[in-house]
């Protein structure tokens, strides 16, 4: 029996409709004026923060977790705002950060024993992660009012501002959090996993913008520089992406829905492939402080002098 999958012509409108509904429907018009996608994204981030910090000897405390949540969500945008000489959105409207902190405060009331393990939530919540991340890779960096004060003619002529904005929107916050070890009780400078291991699954988050943002720009014909990317695969494999994309520009909604599908596939692979197939597994960590036997005599190595490592934060 063969499994028949629905074609893209039916999948893309369904994804676009779901994302639009979640973006335009407030959780409550008076008491919680955030879209459902923002609320679900905030709860998802609180879940990740709780899973990574409570398993390391207890929670960090509300103040440290609040800093971690704010940096994860608005850190990349703040960096981009500083580089482009414009105020960040949280400076103009502080209500969303306050509501994010309110939701995280409510989530902290959940007992630790009720938190699901990380290896279960990653594959189950990959579609939600894809819906939220797709906006940072498509809509936000292509809006000159949000990503760059440069004139539109300069942005169209060079894709560099768009790509740089996409990297910061999608991964700027987690990069800052990992660099400053904000998930650890003792803040310190550290090497983010994407820099330490740039070719494994840990580096997926930082590679999403260079790979998927140009695809979105090429499909929507955002600029000639992006459209020319459709011809690159033909020079290597003989297959022209224009056969798939067509000669006309895609609607931004359809192109973003395709990015959501690709993100779901990548996030599911990152969550499932290492455990199911052993792909891209790192070398087993050395066991420290475990008794060993040599010549009938039991020996215990000295404990590692290193400080307690901080949990590495992934963007959601």
Q: Which of 200, 194, 201, 141 is nearest to 170 (CA)?
A: 141
First vs last Cα of the chain: how many Å apart? 36
Cβ proximity of 215 and 221 under 8 Å: no
User: DSSP class of residue 88?
Assistant: -
Q: Say if strands 26-28 and 32-35 run parallel, antiparallel, or are unpaired.
A: antiparallel
Q: How far apart are CA 83 and CA 78, in angstroms?
A: 9
Cβ proximity of 179 and 192 under 8 Å: yes
pTM of the model: 0.81
Number of H helices, E strands in the chain: 16, 4
Q: How far apart are CA 198 and CA 14, in angstroms?
A: 34
The dihedral through the CA atoms of 240, 244, 248, 253 has a sign that is negative
62 pairs with which residues across the strands?
Answer: none
User: What does the pLDDT read at residue 152?
Assistant: 53
Cβ proximity of 241 and 250 under 8 Å: no
Q: How far apart are CA 16 and CA 228, in angstroms?
A: 26
User: DSSP class of residue 28?
Assistant: E
User: What does the pLDDT read at residue 295?
Assistant: 45
Cβ proximity of 52 and 313 under 8 Å: yes
Reported as type and span, the H/E element at residue 134 is helix 126-137
Q: How far apart are CA 187 and CA 178, in angstroms?
A: 10
Reported as type and span, the H/E element at residue 34 is strand 32-35
Chain centre distance of CA 156: 26
Nearest-5° angle of CA 254, CA 260, CA 265? 135
pLDDT tens digits, the chain, 316 residues: what are they?
Answer: 344 556 777 889 999 999 999 999 999 999 999 999 999 999 999 999 998 887 655 568 899 999 999 999 999 999 999 988 889 999 999 999 999 999 999 999 988 888 898 889 999 999 999 999 999 999 898 876 555 545 454 455 678 888 889 999 999 999 999 999 998 888 899 988 888 877 777 788 889 999 999 999 988 888 777 877 766 655 554 555 655 666 688 899 999 999 999 999 999 998 887 676 654 444 444 433 334 444 444 444 445 455 555 555 666 6
Nearest-5° angle of CA 226, CA 134, CA 259? 60
User: What does the pLDDT read at residue 1?
Assistant: 38
């Amino acid at each position: 029996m063969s499994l028949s999958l629905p074609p893209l012509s039916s999948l893309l409108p369904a994804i676009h409709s779901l994302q639009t509904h979640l973006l335009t429907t407030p959780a409550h018009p008076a008491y919680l004026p955030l879209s459902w996608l923002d609320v679900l994204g905030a709860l998802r981030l609180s879940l990740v923060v709780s899973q990574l910090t409570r398993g390391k000897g207890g929670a960090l405390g509300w103040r440290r977790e609040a800093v971690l949540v704010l940096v994860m969500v608005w850190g990349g945008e703040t960096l981009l705002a500083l580089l482009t000489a414009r105020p960040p959105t949280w400076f103009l409207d502080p209500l969303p950060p306050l509501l994010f902190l309110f939701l995280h405060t409510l989530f902290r009331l959940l007992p630790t024993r009720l938190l699901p393990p990380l290896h279960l939530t990653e594959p189950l919540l990959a579609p939600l992660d894809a819906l939220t991340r797709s906006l940072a890779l498509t809509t936000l960096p292509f809006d000159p009012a949000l990503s760059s004060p440069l004139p539109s003619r300069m942005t169209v002529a060079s894709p560099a501002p768009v790509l740089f904005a996409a990297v910061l929107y999608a991964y700027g916050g987690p990069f800052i959090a990992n660099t400053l070890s904000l998930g650890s009780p003792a803040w310190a400078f550290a090497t983010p996993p994407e820099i330490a291991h740039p070719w494994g699954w840990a580096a997926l988050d930082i590679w999403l913008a260079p790979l998927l943002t140009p695809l979105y720009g090429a499909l929507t014909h955002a600029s000639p520089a992006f459209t020319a990317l459709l011809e690159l695969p033909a020079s290597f494999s003989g297959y022209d992406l224009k056969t798939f994309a067509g000669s006309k520009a895609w609607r931004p909604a359809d192109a973003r829905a395709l990015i959501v599908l690709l993100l779901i596939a990548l996030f599911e692979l990152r969550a499932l492939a290492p455990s199911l197939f052993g792909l891209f597994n790192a070398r087993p960590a050395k066991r420290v402080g475990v008794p060993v036997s040599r010549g009938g005599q039991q020996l215990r190595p000295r404990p590692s002098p290193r400080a307690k490592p901080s949990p590495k934060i992934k963007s959601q």
